[in-house]
Amino acid sequence: MPDLIAPRLRVLFCGINPSLYSVVVGFHFARPGNRFWPTLHAAGITPRLLKPSEQAELLPLGYGITNVVDRATATADMLDAAELTAGAKSLEAKVRRHRPRILAVLGVSAYRTAFGRPKAQPGPQEETMGSTRLWVLPNPSGLNAHYQLADLARLFGELRHAVDLG
């Protein structure tokens, strides 16, 4: 799944890994039931609800998309700790090269494993990757029933507010 990335983005959103469906259709967060696109709109990150096929419209707004692990799976829980840790190292090189202002990792459990931070909570993190701040957000997958759209919109909105403040 190709990254949607450019140098010096405001935020580089980082999924855990692409779904099989997303790889087939060629767009990030494309699986029906994924709440990424509705969350971006509800949080005020996008001016309207974008379809996955309109993902390129994020770049002019200063946002991009990548993944911790490139390998597509039916569900993210099919990845093991070693794969997540290796993915984090690769991701760090990508972040240092493109230097987004914030890397927003979408998946608290995956972040904890990939980055060796077992107690990490959603929100801004103390660690950085060079000049890039780290932010952890819940996974917007429809399989993550713990967070409803309103909860996701509030948490993503906190990120937007931090970005807007500079």
Domains and CATH numbers, the chain: 11-165 (3.40.470.10)
What's the rounded Cα separation, in Å, for the pair 20 and 154?
A: 28
Q: Which residues of the chain have pLDDT under 50?
A: none
For residue 39 the two structure tokens come to 């969350």
What's the rounded Cα separation, in Å, for the pair 127 and 141?
A: 25
Please tell me the predicted confidence (pLDDT) of residue 47. Answer: 97
Please tell me the predicted confidence (pLDDT) of residue 85. Answer: 97
pTM reported for the whole predicted model: 0.96
Please tell me the predicted confidence (pLDDT) of residue 75. Answer: 84
- For every residue of 85-115, DSSP letters joined together read HHHHHHHHHHHHHH--SEEEEE-HHHHHHHT
- Tell me the backbone φ, ψ of residue 3, rounded to 5 degrees: -65, 150
What share of residues in the chain are helix, strand, coil (percent, to 5)? 40, 20, 40
